[in-house]
């Protein structure tokens, strides 16, 4: 079925391409990306010798993304974006698959039309980022719905409705059967001049039989939730040499579990970033804080309190590394379990970016990080990697020492449209990563590193 759909889409491209010769309003652009990904020590094998305890993973992945935009006039256009090829292969894992057989090929598909004086309407599968994306952002096509936007002078307003989830395919015996989630959101931007923007946003989530987040609550199935989120963000440019970024956001609400247990949810995020820049150099200092959850029942998996949906925010290559940190099938694509989910994270970053020549950019960063609330035994948070690996007992009952990260990277334009990117990082883990080894020995986790080489062709 999926193969037939790919063939059908390819035929459609040919037909549209022929029509495009007679319709200048139709444009095609896309990206072909090949990535070599390597990481070390995200997981452990305690039964092996010291030199073999770390786990290495290395492989390649590739993606072909195509975007078609048909513009009928200044008031009407349609956009559709496909990921036609998503392959993963590599000798380390000894596998080769096509990810399009397990997921949707369509990332974006929407119609945008403008009614004079009334506003612009966007209907369909569309990307959304509110503020800097700590509390609400989606670029993966998970949100289907309607957005209205209009602007009066320096004030712009957007109102949105999205269907997040509507599962009816797992059978009545499953708690996910008929899972239903609806999101309403409002965004207001005030831009007094081109150098300053203040954004206010908020919304409401109505969720039945669950909660729209990436984490799993292991102690009980949630059956109902009413959740709100609010935020304020600021972007400023001073004297064409100083850039300021900030966001304060949070979520709050009430939920009822299937065992009739009531719970009140609440968490907040703080993001501050100031950088100096000129034609060759950018140097900056950034701070991020995600509140921890001290109210979780012991034994529960760490449960996100900081976002409704978020995949746009990135802080480092490993710590809060974003979805670009790993490969398509990498278990650590979310970094240490909190890539965009910055729950219980407090971190400071000093970063540099230098452009010694027009086609070459070099960058580096040093990050100090701690847990906002202690992790370990007898706390709401177990060992830092237990969300993915599982089975590790923390050596310390309570600690906030996460560690230090050093990042290095470069971007080089080989030729027009073809770019090579390198991103590497090493995390010198703190005491919170120490674990109980075989024979109840105290084991140090050691450094974690990752390397990402990317070749991208944009057209």
**Neighbour tally for 25: CB within 10 Å:** 12
Task: For the chain, count helices (H), then strands (E).
Answer: 1, 23
User: Whole-angstrom Cα distance, residue 433 to residue 440?
Assistant: 15
pLDDT at 330: 59
pLDDT at 349: 98
Domain spans of the chain, in order of start: 25-458
pLDDT exceeds cutoff 70 at 345: yes
Tens-digit pLDDT profile for residues 183-218: 999 999 999 999 999 999 999 998 776 444 333 433
User: Whole-angstrom Cα distance, residue 212 to residue 450?
Assistant: 30
Tens-digit pLDDT profile for residues 231-250: 999 999 999 999 999 999 99
- Longest Cα–Cα distance of the chain, Å, equals 74
Identify which of 178, 182, 180 has the alpha carbon closest to the alpha carbon of residue 169.
178
Evaluate whether 152 touches 169 at the Cβ level (below 8 Å): no
**Secondary element (H or E) of residue 2:** helix 2-20
From residue 310, alpha-carbon distances to 36, 133, 136, 213, 341 in Å are 25, 6, 5, 9, 7
Q: 61: pLDDT confidence band, cut at 50, 70 and 90?
A: confident
Q: 2: pLDDT confidence band, cut at 50, 70 and 90?
A: very low
Q: Show the beta-strand stretches assigned E in 168-311.
A: 179-193, 196-208, 222-238, 242-257, 262-277, 281-290
Identify which of 395, 397, 394 has the alpha carbon closest to the alpha carbon of residue 379.
397
pLDDT at 401: 94
Q: Which whole number is the average pLDDT over 361-381?
A: 91
Q: 169: pLDDT confidence band, cut at 50, 70 and 90?
A: low
pLDDT at 57: 80
**Secondary element (H or E) of residue 435:** strand 435-436
pLDDT exceeds cutoff 60 at 22: no
pLDDT at 7: 44
pLDDT at 218: 38
**Secondary element (H or E) of residue 4:** helix 2-20
pTM: predicted TM-score of the whole model, two decimal places: 0.86
User: Whole-angstrom Cα distance, residue 304 to residue 82?
Assistant: 30
pLDDT at 220: 42
Q: Which whole number is the average pLDDT over 18-32?
A: 71
pLDDT exceeds cutoff 80 at 134: yes
**Between 135 and 335, residue with greater pLDDT:** 135
pLDDT exceeds cutoff 90 at 311: no
pLDDT at 339: 47
Q: How many residues can be counted in the chain?
A: 459
25-458 belongs to CATH 3.40.50.410? no
**Neighbour tally for 24: CB within 10 Å:** 8
Q: Return all residues near 172 (Cβ < 8 A) that are at least 6 apart.
A: none
pLDDT at 266: 79
Write down the residue that tokens 């710590």 correspond to.
319
What's the DSSP call for residue 440?
A: G
Evaluate whether 320 touches 335 at the Cβ level (below 8 Å): yes
DSSP 7-63: HHHHHHHHHHHHHHTT-TTEEEEEEEEEEEEEEEEEEE-TTS-GGG-EEEEEEEEEE
User: Whole-angstrom Cα distance, residue 276 to residue 283?
Assistant: 5
pLDDT exceeds cutoff 50 at 33: yes
Percent of the chain with pLDDT over 70: 75
pLDDT exceeds cutoff 80 at 418: yes
pLDDT at 139: 81
**Between 19 and 395, residue with greater pLDDT:** 395
Rounded to the nearest 5°, which phi and psi values hold at 72?
A: -80, -40
Tens-digit pLDDT profile for residues 64-92: 899 999 999 999 999 999 887 767 776 55
pLDDT at 191: 97
**Neighbour tally for 173: CB within 10 Å:** 6
pLDDT at 203: 96
Tens-digit pLDDT profile for residues 436-457: 988 888 999 999 998 999 999 9
Q: 10: pLDDT confidence band, cut at 50, 70 and 90?
A: very low
* Dihedral class, residue 240 (left if φ above 0, else alpha if ψ from -120 to 50, else beta): left
**Between 261 and 37, residue with greater pLDDT:** 37
């Amino acid at each position: 079925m999926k193969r037939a759909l790919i063939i059908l889409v390819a035929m459609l491209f040919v037909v549209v391409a022929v029509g495009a010769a007679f319709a200048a309003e139709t444009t095609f652009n896309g990206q072909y990306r090949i990535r070599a990904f390597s990481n070390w020590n995200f997981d452990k094998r305690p039964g092996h010798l010291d030199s073999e305890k770390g786990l290495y993973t290395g492989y390649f992945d590739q993606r072909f993304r195509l975007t078609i935009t048909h513009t009928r006039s200044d008031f009407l256009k349609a956009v559709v974006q496909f990921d036609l090829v998503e392959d993963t292969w590599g000798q380390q894992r000894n596998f080769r698959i096509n990810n399009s057989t397990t997921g949707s090929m369509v990332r974006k598909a929407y119609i945008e039309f403008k009614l004079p004086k009334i506003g612009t309407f966007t209907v369909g599968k569309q990307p959304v980022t509110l503020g800097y994306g700590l509390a609400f952002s989606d670029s993966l096509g998970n949100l289907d719905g309607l957005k209205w936007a209009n602007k009066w002078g320096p004030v712009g307003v957007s109102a949105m409705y999205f269907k997040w989830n509507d599962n009816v395919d797992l059978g009545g015996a499953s708690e996910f059967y008929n899972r239903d989630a609806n999101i309403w959101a409002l965004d207001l931007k005030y831009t007094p001049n081109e150098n300053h923007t203040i954004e206010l946003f908020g919304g409401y989530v109505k969720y039945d039989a669950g909660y729209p987040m990436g984490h799993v609550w292991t102690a009980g199935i949630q059956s109902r939730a009413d959740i709100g989120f609010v935020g304020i963000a600021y972007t400023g440019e001073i004297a064409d040499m100083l850039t300021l970024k900030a966001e304060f956001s949070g979520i709050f609400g009430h939920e009822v579990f299937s065992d009739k247990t009531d719970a009140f949810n609440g968490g907040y995020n703080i993001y501050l970033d100031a950088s100096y820049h000129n034609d060759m150099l950018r140097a900056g200092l950034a701070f991020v804080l995600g509140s921890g959850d001290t109210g979780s029942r012991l034994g529960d998996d760490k449960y996100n309190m900081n976002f409704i949906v978020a995949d746009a925010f990135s802080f480092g290559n490993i710590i809060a590394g974003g979805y670009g940190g790993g490969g398509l099938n990498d278990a650590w694509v979310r970094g240490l379990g909190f890539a965009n989910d910055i729950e219980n994270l407090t971190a400071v970053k000093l970063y540099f970016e230098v452009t010694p020549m027009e086609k070459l950019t070099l960058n580096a960063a040093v990050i100090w990080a701690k847990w906002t609330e202690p992790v370990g035994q007898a706390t709401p948070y177990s060992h830092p990697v237990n969300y993915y690996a599982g089975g590790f007992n923390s050596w310390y009952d309570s600690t906030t020492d996460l560690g230090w990260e050093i990042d290095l990277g470069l971007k080089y334009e080989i030729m027009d449209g073809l770019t090579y990117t390198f991103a590497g990082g090493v995390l010198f883990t703190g005491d919170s990563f120490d674990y109980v080894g075989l024979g109840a020995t105290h084991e140090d986790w050691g450094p974690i590193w990752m390397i990402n080489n990317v070749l991208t062709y944009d057209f």
